Chain A
Amino acid sequence: MIRIALTYQSFTLISVPKIHTDLLWDLSVLFGSLCLLYFAFIFFFRNRLSAKAKNINDRRKQLTPIISNFLFYGEDASKEEKYEYVELKVEMREFIKDPINRSVLKEILLDLQRDLTGDARRRLLSLYQDFDLHLDAYQKLNSWRWEVVTKGIVELTQMQVEQAYTFIKNFINHKRSVIRKQAQIAAVSLKHEGISHFLDTNKYAISEWQQIKILEILRDKEDFIPPNFGAWLTSKNKDVVLFSLRLIRHYNQTDANCLVTELLKHKDDEVKQAAIECIKEFGIKEAVPVLKAAFRRSNRATKIVILDALGILCSDDIIPYLFEIYEHENNFNIKSKALSTINVISPNTVLPEENLDPSIKIAEEMQVDEEVRDVENPGEIDKNEIVPPHETVEEKVVITEEASELFLEDLDVFEYCFMEELNEILDRSDIEDNDIEAKYLPLDFLPIVVQKQPKMAKKKQKKTLDPELTQLDVRFEEVHPDEGFRRELEDILSRVEVPDLEGNIEVEYLNFKFLPFVISEEAEADQLPALIDEINAMEVNGVEIVLPASGEALDTNEAEKIADKDHQEEENDTCSLVDWDDLETEVDAIATKSIEKHTKEENIEESDPPSYGFSIFEELFRHCDTESKLILLDEILDLGDEKELCFLQTLFKDPNRDVRKKVKNIAKRLTEKLAVEQTANHTPEAIVKWADTEKNGRSLSLNFDLENLEIKNVNDTKK
């Protein structure tokens, strides 16, 4: 029972409501009727509109030939034609009494005026007024509806009813923008004085589009004589001032220059910018001081416009001012504009600095140096340069900064080769006869180092040095020092053994003039004679190296003597025995000269070449990313030597933290590695072994023959 009750109860909730069937029928009839009524309305109004359109079209077709007749009626027409014309006009007057006909005629004339020009259009416009159609437009002006007023203004404007100007000009400051804008266009279009009235009375803003429209109307106006628009530059309406400036530019009214310049003092930046544009266009150079004065008080955009104007108006004398702006301004755009303005005034004044390849720059400098040199001394040999006896003038190479860096690297190669060849010579000397007279060490292959001095340095040097000294033909050579090389030389000399020789052999002369004299930048001049004394006192394994006593510092006479002697030697091309007197004095002279030069160069050149050799990793390191840098650092540890150690020291302040950390680690490990290697290699046995092993595998082959080496038995000397 309960189950049945529940079942039926639930069904009642979703059952159909009990509505009377008659009511449903009534509703169906109602909606059906409404639908029919709707379709009936549509049908009726559609037909009505179609009928109206057809009626209008028919009337248009009827009117068009009449209008054509009116438009193309000629004054040279015959009497019959004139009679027909008058009759037609009377008919037309009757015809347009009907408002629909009047409306149709008006539409036709408005349509045709768009497609016609010339004489036909003039007749069309006069026809419009002949039929008093403009009176309808006047009535529209009195309407309370803004769209009707606007239509009336537009109609009168299109049909060029000049009499309507008096009525329309009252709408110039209408509160409705659509009416106002249309009235402004109408006022400007209908009469020449319309623009003046508009600028005089306008209280509202003038949009860009409106300005362009008015400008277009003025441009198309025939026989329009523009008024002096400078008169409105004093207007309180900012937009009037801006529009006047635009008109001044359009009509090139240069007589308003003073007024335009005065506008640079305007509070509004938009006006200022427009005035600057005008100044720029007219090229008013008198405005430059005002522009400069206005610069500080202007905003960023105006400053940029001012800089642009200065670039056009000014000459080179403005460049310091522009540089001042560049230095003091914080804004990037202004700074950038200042630089570009400088380049506009004087092209290539400011050259790019960022992202440039320094090697290319140096190469260019080298080229320029060579060109300058060729221009300054065409075919003339510079007296301050070392010229080897066999070298022609054409073969001279001017070594620049880059080249001097490479030269330092070459020194290492030279050092290695020299040591190797010297060992070889000494070994050979062991095998040869007792009466060895090693007369010559053919070392002409050695690089003759020519260090080109900067011009300023040369000039200063000429002032301070004795004039006779500066005229020396013999050039000094500046070679960066290597203390290790000296020590190695001493070691080798100490190893010299001549077992076949009886008694003591005295190396009387070792002509080392060919060698580049090693002068430490930090060394004092008096240290060099001491070194020579030290070598002189050597007696190694029965071979005594006789060196002359150390001399004093070179004076100018001595230098001259040396120069003469060297010059003579070069001329005769004779290689005499080693003259240690000459050697010592020459060393002294060069030391003195080098120190002088060094001190002068320090004052002149701020960037001296680095004291360490050129690291091959340096250039790679400069142009690679962080990851590559880390890999390179590993390679430096494997392959590097002292040069790389110096290079690593420069990287301690690298901006990248990882690189910095790794550099310190690598530098430490490399130092340890080099210390171990140095200890192992600097024993005499190691040098001999190193020389032997490297002899076969060297890449650089040098002709290192015995020359100018005369070894004399000490016993013979005693005899």
Chain B
Amino acid sequence: MKKILLADDDELLASLLNYRLDKAGYKVHWSCDGREVKEELEKEIPDIIVSDIMMPYFSGLELVDFVRNTLESKVPIIIISSAGNEENVLSAFELGANDFISKPVSPSELLVRVTRELNKG
């Protein structure tokens, strides 16, 4: 079972996505802030990371940078960003993010993207 690290401070949306991904057969670990994500990543690298850009303590961009440069991992990263936040998305791509999805999120679409990224690897 593939392991997904879901990093989002919005509990409601995160639980919904968690439910959807879990239902699709993935093992999802949800972290509500950046510090927790960092600790989790230091323990174990998941198969894919789905992260919101705006998070307390440790933003999505920092997360991408941390994974690519500090951990030197090539794990796929999908960024969730708000609409009209294209600059951050571009920055995330420059840092090494693999894909992005904008809010409002379609859980089905996210599932498709996650599956595609995992199949690439």
Contacts and interface: CB of A to CB of B under 8 A. Distances in A.
B106 interface: yes
A91 interface: no
Closest 5 CB pairs of A and B: A118-B106, A68-B19, A117-B104, A115-B13, A64-B15
Interface of A: 60-61, 64-65, 67-69, 71-72, 108, 111-112, 114-121
14 contacts: A61-B11, A64-B15, A68-B16, A72-B19, A108-B12, A111-B12, A112-B12, A112-B13, A112-B16, A115-B10, A116-B13, A116-B105, A120-B107, A121-B106
Contacts, number: 55
A116 B20 contact: no
Contacts of B10: 115
B108 interface: yes
B93 to A, nearest CB: 22
A109 to B, nearest CB: 10
B43 to A, nearest CB: 25
A713 B13 CA distance: 129
A106 to B, nearest CB: 13
A112 B20 CA distance: 14
Contacts of B106: 116-121
A65 B103 contact: no
Interface residues of B, number: 16
A524 to B, nearest CB: 87
Nearest to B13: A115
A64 B16 contact: yes
A116 B11 CA distance: 14
A82 B98 CA distance: 37
Contact of B107 (A60, A64, A69, A116): A116
A64 B109 contact: no
Contacts of B116: none
Nearest to B24: A72
Nearest to A121: B104
A111 to B, nearest CB: 6
Query: For chain B, what secondary structure do more than half of its interface residues adopt (helix, strand, loop), or is it mixed?
Result: helix
A117 B105 contact: yes
A115 B16 CA distance: 10
Interface string B102-121: 01111111000000000000
Contacts of A114: 104
Contacts of B16: 64, 67-68, 71, 112, 116, 120
B105 A64 contact: no
Interface of B: 10-13, 15-16, 19-20, 23, 103-109
Nearest to A69: B19
Contact of B20 (A61, A72, A108): A72
B103 to A, nearest CB: 6
A115 B20 contact: no
Given A65-B19, A68-B19, A72-B20, A120 B12 contact: no
A69 B16 CA distance: 9
Contacts of A69: 19
B105 A115 contact: yes
B13 to A, nearest CB: 5
A119 B106 CA distance: 7
Residue of A72, A115, A118 with most chain B CB atoms under a 10 A cut-off: A115
Given A64-B15, A108-B12, A116-B16, A72 B104 contact: no
A69 B23 CA distance: 10
A193 B40 CA distance: 53
Contact of B108 (A64, A65, A108, A120): A120
A116 B17 CA distance: 10
A61 B12 CA distance: 8
Given A60-B12, A64-B12, A108-B12, A115 B104 contact: yes
A65 B109 CA distance: 20
Contacts of A118: 106-109
Contacts of B12: 60, 64, 108, 111-112, 115
A558 to B, nearest CB: 91
B95 to A, nearest CB: 24
A67 B12 CA distance: 10
Give the one of B13, B23, B104 with max A CB within 10 A.
B104
Nearest to A124: B16
Contacts of B105: 115-117
B108 A119 contact: yes
B108 A116 contact: no
Contacts of B15: 61, 64-65, 68
Contacts of A72: 19-20, 23, 107
B80 to A, nearest CB: 10
A506 B11 CA distance: 128
A71 B19 CA distance: 10
A325 to B, nearest CB: 45
B9 to A, nearest CB: 12
A115 B13 CA distance: 7
Contacts of B108: 118-120
Nearest to A115: B13
A64 B17 CA distance: 11
B101 to A, nearest CB: 10
A120 B20 CA distance: 10
Given A60-B11, A111-B12, A116-B13, 18 more contacts: A64-B12, A64-B15, A64-B16, A67-B16, A68-B20, A71-B16, A71-B107, A72-B19, A112-B12, A114-B104, A115-B12, A115-B104, A115-B105, A116-B106, A117-B104, A118-B109, A120-B106, A120-B108
Contacts of A112: 12-13, 16
Contacts of A117: 104-106
A72 B22 CA distance: 11
A613 B75 CA distance: 88
A77 to B, nearest CB: 11
A649 to B, nearest CB: 70
Looking at A116, A118, A121, the one whose CB has the most chain B CB atoms below 10 A away is A116
